[in-house]
Every structure is written in structure tokens, then in C-alpha cells.
Amino acid sequence: MLWGATPLLIVVFLARYLWIKTTYTIESNKLRISTPLKSLDISIGNIKKIRRGKFWVESGRNYSETYIKLRIIYDRNSYIYVSPEDEELFVDTLQAINPNIEYSSERGL
């Protein structure tokens, strides 16, 4: 039984390591969100709102590693969840590029 569990544990730890490596890069007018398995580019000019809170997250939109996340609403009805290391600096940098971004630190506002 021990030999059967070892490969499973290796796969679980490797998958967790790969999934946790999320980076957020702001280059000129683009926000690039990258993991080893997927990446996404968002035009900062298209970001409408950023909300901080505890969100139930569906798969495919979650680039966040924590329970408390930032929900970025962009384009018409698109959104994504992120958890940058320094939330305040992250939001301030985005708002410096696009001052029209609304920020709310409470869920539902």
C-alpha cells in the first residue's frame, strides 16, 4: 500500500507547487497574470472595478492563492480573481495607469 501511495503523493505535491507559482506583471498598459499552466493578459484601460473580499470561485477564473481575493472586473462582463502579495501597491499601480478604476474593500459594494 505504501508503494501505491507514493506516486500519488508526488503528483499531488508537484501539482500544488506548479499551481501556486502565480505572478502578476504590469507592463505599460497590460496586466499579465501567469502560472506555469496558464496565463492571461488584460488591458488596464479595460478594468472597471476591483473588489476585495471573500468570494466563492468557479474554476477557470481563479488566479488567486488565498481565500480573501481581489475580483477584477474588466471589459463588459468579464472578471478574474487574484491575490497579489501587496494588494495596496497593486491597486495603486493599476489606478495610477487608469484613474477610472473603482476600488471597494468590502464585498458587495
pTM above 0.85, yes or no: no
3-state helix, strand, coil in the chain (%, to 5): 30, 35, 35
Element of type H or E holding 102: strand 102-104
- CATH topology for the 2-104 domain: PH-domain like (2.30.29)
| DSSP category for residue 99 | T
According to the model, what pLDDT value does residue 42 have? 95
34 class by beta-carbon count within 10 Å (0-12 exposed, 13-18 middle, 19+ buried): middle
According to the model, what pLDDT value does residue 101 have? 96
- Reported confidence tier of residue 96, pLDDT bands at 50, 70, 90: very high
